[in-house]
Chain A
Amino acid sequence: MKKLARQIIFYAALLGVWAFLAKLHLWPPYLFPPPWGVGQALWDGFADHSFWIGIAVTMKRMLIGYSLSVVLGMILGLAVSSNKFLEETLGGLLVSLQSLPSICWIPLAVLWFGLTEKAILFVVLMGSLLSVTIAMEDGRKQMPKIYGMAGRNLGASGFRLFWSVLLPASLPFIVNGMKQGWAFAWRSLIQAEMIFLSLGLGQLLMMGRDLSDMSQVMAVMILIIILGYLVDGLIFRTMERRLQEKYGLTPA
C-alpha cells in the first residue's frame, strides 16, 4: 500500500506542476491546455459518444487483426521451428522483416486494398505477426528438453506429444510472444488510423490537430495510454507472472 501512496503522490505532483505551468500562461491555452481543459475534453468526448465510438472501432480492429496474427503467427512459428529448411530460409527472412516499422506497410496496403478496413487490418497483422512468430519459434527452442523426454518416456508420441506436452510446455513463451505482438499491433493500429481517417482513436487524434484543439489531442492520448496499459500491463503481465510462478521460471 505504501507503493500505491507513493504513486498517488507522484501523479498528484505531476498534475500540480502541469496546472502551475498552465496558470503562468507562458503559452496560449490552445497550445498548452490546463489539466481541467483536458478533463473537460475527455468529458465532452464521452458525452457526445465520439470517444465511445472511437474506442469501439479501434478495439474491434485490434481484436480482428490481432487474433488473426496470433493464429497465423503460431502456425508460422511452429512450421519454422520444426523444419530445418524453413528455419534457415523463412526464419531469417522473418527476423530481417521485423526491423521494418509496420507503418512502412501502409503504402503497399493502400495500393493493394485501397483506403479500406482491410488495409488497416493488414497493417495491424504485419505489425504483430512477426513478433508472435519469432516468440513462438524461440519458445519451442528454449523450452526445457526434459518435458519432451518425460512425455515420450510415458508413452506420448506424434500429435499427442505435441498437444499434451510440447504445447503446454511452451505456454509461457507463447504468452510472452502474444504480449509482444499485442504491443506491436496496438502501435501499428493507432499509426494506421492516424493516416487513414476512418473513425477510431487515431483519427480522433488527428481531428484534434486539424481543429487546433490541443485538449482533445491530449485527451485521446491519455485514452490510448490507458487502454494500452490495461491490456498490456494488467492482463498480459498478470498472466505472464502466474505462468512463470507455476512453471518455476522465477525464484518464488
Chain B
Amino acid sequence: MSTSPHQVDPPAVALVPRTGVRANVFYGKPVASVTAFPVRPVSEVVIPKVELDAISLSYKTTSGELLLALDKISLAVKPGEFLCIVGPSGCGKSTLLHLIAGLHPPTSGRILVDGAPVSGPGTDRILIFQELGLFPWLTVGGNVEFGLKMKNVSKAEREEKVQYYLRLVHLLNFRDSYIHQLSGGMRQRVALARALATEPDVLLMDEPFAALDAQTRDLLHDELERLWSETGRTIIFVTHNVREAVRLGDRVALLTFRPGRVKQEFSVSLPRPRQMEQNDVLRTARDILDCLRAEINKSLAEEYADEKAR
C-alpha cells in the first residue's frame, strides 16, 4: 500500500471553522500535539487506520417510513489514536460502531481499514458492545479464549494469552467463574480482556462504562488508558458523557441528533494521565458541552413530543 511511489495524501479530517477557540481546544486538524504521555511518534503522512468515507445509513421503521440515521459521516482515525464520539442519545453512535465492526453494511459510503474496504466482521476490529454480550454458558476464561479459538490459535498459545490478558485486567483468580457470578465492573473487564485477547488493531467501544458507578468507572478509565498506551491500539470510543470523552480521547467528534452528522471535531491535547475532575478537563468538556447542548435539546424535544403524541 504505502510502497506505491504515487502516494496520495490521506484525506484530511473533516474540518470545521475555527470559532471561539480556547487555549486547550483546537478546531480542525490536530497540531502535532506535544503531549508528554504516552510517547508516540507523530508522523505527518499516515494512512488512516480507519476511514469513514461519507457513510450514510437509512432504515425502514416499523411504521414503514424511511429514517435517515447517519448522514454522510466522514472521519479519519490515525493509527494509535484514541477517538471519542459523543452525541445525544439516538444520534446513531452505536450504529456507527456496528458499521465499522462490519456487522451491517452502510446504505452508502465506504469504510476503509488500512486503506482497504471493509466487507464484513473481522478480528482486526473488535467491538465491545454496550450490553457486552458475554457468553453466559462459558467461564470467564472460556469467554476470553473464544476469539482465539475462532482464529484457530494453538492450545498452548491460547492458554498463554488467556492468562496474560486476564492478569492485565486483574481477573486471573476468576478464570473459572461464570459471568452471572461477577459484578458489573468485573464483567466490563472480562469484555475488555475478551476483545484484547484477539489482539485487534482497532478497539471499538460502545458506552462500555455507562452502567458503572463512578469509582469503578474511574478505575477502568485508568486501566484503559494504560492498556492503550502499552499496546498502541487504535480506539474508537462512543459515549454520551463529554467529560469521559475529554478524559480519554486525543480527539472528540461531536455528532448531531438524527440524522447523525459530524457537527464538530475537537482535539484534546491535555497532558496524560488525566482525571475526570481535573480543571482543564472540565473546562474543555464545558466547551464541547455548549456545542452539544443544542443537539441534546433537539433530542429531548423529540422525546417529549413522542410522549405527548401518546
Q: Of residues 158 to 192 in A, which have CB atoms within 8 Å of B's CB atoms?
A: 160, 164-165, 168-169, 171
Contacts of A169 in B (CB 8 A): 135, 137
Q: Does B194 contact A (CB under 8 A)?
A: yes
CA distance A160 to B178 in the complex (A): 22
Instruction: Determine whether the beta carbon of A246 is less than 8 Å from that of B180.
Output: yes
Q: Which of B9-17, B144-152, B213-221, B270-278 contacts A (4 or more CB under 8 A)?
A: B144-152
> In the assembled complex, which residues on chain A have CB atoms less than 8 Å from the CB atom of B262?
none
**Nearest chain B CB to A163 CB, angstrom units:** 11
Q: How far is the CB of A75 from chain B (nearest CB, A)?
A: 21
Cβ–Cβ < 8 Å partners of B150 in chain A: 154-156, 160
CA distance A160 to B152 in the complex (A): 12
What B residues does A150 contact at CB under 8 A? Answer: 129, 133-135
| B136 adjacent to A152 (CB under 8 Å) | no
Please measure, in the bound complex, the distance between the C-alpha atom of A109 and the C-alpha atom of B35, giving whole angstroms: 82
Is B253 interfacial (CB-CB < 8 Å)?
no
- For the complex, is A149 an interface residue (Cβ under 8 Å from B)? yes
- How distant is the Cα of A49 from the Cα of B96 in the complex, in angstroms? 70
Question: In whole angstroms, how far apart are the Cα atoms of A143 and B294 in the complex?
Answer: 38
- The residue on B at minimum CB distance from A155 is B150
Q: How far is the CA of A169 from the CA of B179 in the complex (A)?
A: 14
Q: Are A154 and B194 in contact, CB atoms less than 8 angstroms apart?
A: yes
Encode contact with B along A236-252: 1 for CB under 8 Å, 0 otherwise: 00000000011110001
Q: Which residues of A contact B133 (CB under 8 A)?
A: 146-147, 149-150, 153
Q: Which residues of B lie under 8 Å from residue A151 when comparing CB positions?
A: 146
Q: Which of B101, B126, B129, B180 contacts A146 (CB 8 A)?
A: B129
Q: How many A-B contacts at CB < 8 Å in the complex?
A: 61
User: Which residue of chain B has its CB nearest to the CB of A146?
Assistant: B133
Chain B neighbourhood of A164, CB < 8 A = 146, 149
> Are the CB atoms of A152 and B103 closer together than 8 Å?
yes
User: What CA separation (Å) do A248 and B178 show in the bound complex?
Assistant: 11
Chain B residues with Cβ below 8 Å from A157 are 121
A246 contact set on B, CB distance < 8 A: 136-137, 178, 180
**Among B98, B123, B179, contact of A155 (Cβ-Cβ < 8 Å):** B123
User: B137 near A155 (CB under 8 angstroms)?
Assistant: no
Chain B residues near A153: list those with CB within 8 A: 101, 103, 121, 126-127, 129, 133
Contact with A along B137-164 (1 / 0, CB 8 A): 1000000001101110000000000000
Distance (whole angstroms) from the CB of B236 to the closest CB of chain A: 14
For B137, B147, B180, B194, the residue with the greatest tally of chain A CB atoms inside 10 Å of its CB is B137
Cα separation A168 to B136 with both chains bound (whole Å):
9
State the Cβ distance, A28 to closest chain B Cβ, in Å.
Answer: 58
**Closest chain B CB from A241 CB (angstroms):** 13
Chain B contacts with A in 271-306, Cβ cutoff 8 A: none
Distance A171 CA – B137 CA, assembled complex (angstroms): 9
Q: Measured between alpha carbons, how far is A248 from B135 in the docked complex, in Å?
A: 11
Task: Identify B126's interface contact among A154, A160, A171, A245, CB under 8 A.
Answer: A154
Contact pattern, A 216-252, Cβ under 8 Å of B = 1, otherwise 0: 0000000000000000000000000000011110001
A246 to B129, CA, bound (A): 20
Return chain B residues, CB-CB under 8 Å to A247: 136-137, 180
B131 within 8 Å of A by Cβ?
Answer: yes
Is B74 an interface position by the 8 A CB rule?
A: no
B151→A155 contact, CB < 8 A: yes
B residues near A248, Cβ cutoff 8 Å: 136, 179-180
Min distance, Cβ A96 to any Cβ of chain B, angstroms: 27
Chain A residues packing against B (C-beta within 8 Å): 146-147, 149-157, 160, 164-165, 168-169, 171, 245-248, 252
Among all A-B residue pairs, the 10 with the closest Cβ atoms: A150-B133, A155-B150, A154-B147, A146-B133, A168-B137, A155-B123, A247-B136, A152-B121, A156-B150, A153-B127
Name 9 extra pairs, CB < 8 A, besides A150-B135, A153-B103: A147-B135, A153-B133, A154-B147, A155-B123, A156-B146, A169-B135, A245-B180, A247-B136, A248-B179
A-B contact pairs, 11 of them (CB 8 A): A146-B133, A147-B135, A149-B133, A150-B134, A153-B127, A154-B194, A155-B123, A155-B147, A156-B146, A165-B135, A252-B180
